[in-house]
């Protein structure tokens, strides 16, 4: 990064570099000094933009999450099962590209950080809207249906974490497992809609 850059452009490039580094090495395995060195800047300059290592990590997570949301928003023109399939497909594309970042977003020590929790909550609400609006178009989603979806989200996250850890199933087989599980939960919600609170 020897070229003179505008602050916004330098920050963007540092975040992109951080995404690559954290994806490969994880959060705990990189010191602030090593991060700065691998980014081609001084630690002082890195902290000028992000305050500290945690601040840098949080901004990298935020950028990664926004990238994921943008990628999976492409399916909004689809409806029903087609949208669900497209969302899961795009979701897994991103996870395969950034497994360490996905793992850290859900399981790292900074998972209790309020900013990290806000990033994660925004992601969940996005999928709640994208998926439920596709499967139940024009309907107001009751508390029961939302809780059913939160359960489905937790199911997806737990299975994806296990899959990226073990890689013991092919992508195709794993994707079918996810779709079957989510469909079952959603269909149960749909069949019980008369009992919604």
pLDDT tens column, 36-61: 999 999 999 999 999 899 899 889 98
Fold classification of 62-195 is Tetracycline Repressor; domain 2 (1.10.357)
Backbone dihedral angles phi then psi of residue 92, each to the nearest 5 degrees: -70, -30
Q: Are 167 and 109 in contact, with CB atoms under 8 Å apart?
A: no
What architecture does CATH give domain 7-55?
A: Orthogonal Bundle (1.10)
Where do you find CATH 1.10.357 in the chain?
62-195
Q: Which phi-psi region, left, alpha or beta, contains residue 5 (left: φ > 0; alpha: ψ -120 to 50)? A: beta
> What pLDDT, on a 0 to 100 scale, did the predictor assign at position 197?
41
Tens of pLDDT, residue by residue, the chain (197 residues): 455 678 888 899 999 999 888 878 877 888 999 999 999 999 999 999 998 998 998 899 899 889 888 988 888 788 778 888 898 999 999 899 888 878 877 776 565 678 888 888 898 888 888 888 877 888 888 888 888 888 888 889 999 999 999 999 999 999 999 988 887 776 666 655 554 44
How many C-beta atoms surround the C-beta of residue 7 within 10 A? 9
Distances (CA, A) of 142 to 82, 84, 135, 152: 23, 20, 14, 15
The model carries a pTM of: 0.78
Helical packing angle, 99-107 and 80-97, nearest 10°: 100
3-state secondary structure of 28: coil
């Amino acid at each position: 990064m020897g070229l003179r850059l505008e602050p916004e452009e330098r920050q963007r490039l540092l975040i992109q570099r951080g995404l690559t580094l954290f994806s490969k090495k994880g959060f705990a395995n990189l010191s602030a000094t090593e991060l700065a060195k691998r980014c081609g800047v001084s630690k002082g300059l890195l902290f000028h933009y992000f305050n500290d290592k945690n601040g840098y990590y949080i901004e990298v997570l935020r950028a990664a999450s926004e990238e994921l949301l943008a990628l999976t928003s492409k399916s909004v023109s689809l409806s029903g099962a087609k949208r669900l399939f497209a969302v899961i497909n795009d979701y897994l594309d991103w996870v395969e590209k950034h497994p360490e970042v996905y793992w850290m977003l859900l399981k790292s020590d900074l998972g209790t950080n309020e900013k990290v929790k806000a990033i994660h909550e925004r992601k969940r609400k996005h999928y709640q809207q994208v998926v439920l609006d596709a499967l139940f178009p024009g309907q107001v989603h009751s508390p029961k249906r939302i809780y059913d979806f939160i359960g489905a989200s937790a199911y997806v996250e737990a299975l994806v974490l296990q899959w990226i850890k073990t890689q013991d199933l092919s992508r195709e087989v794993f994707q079918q497992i996810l779709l079957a599980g989510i469909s079952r939960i959603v269909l149960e919600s749909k069949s019980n809609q008369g009992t919604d609170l």
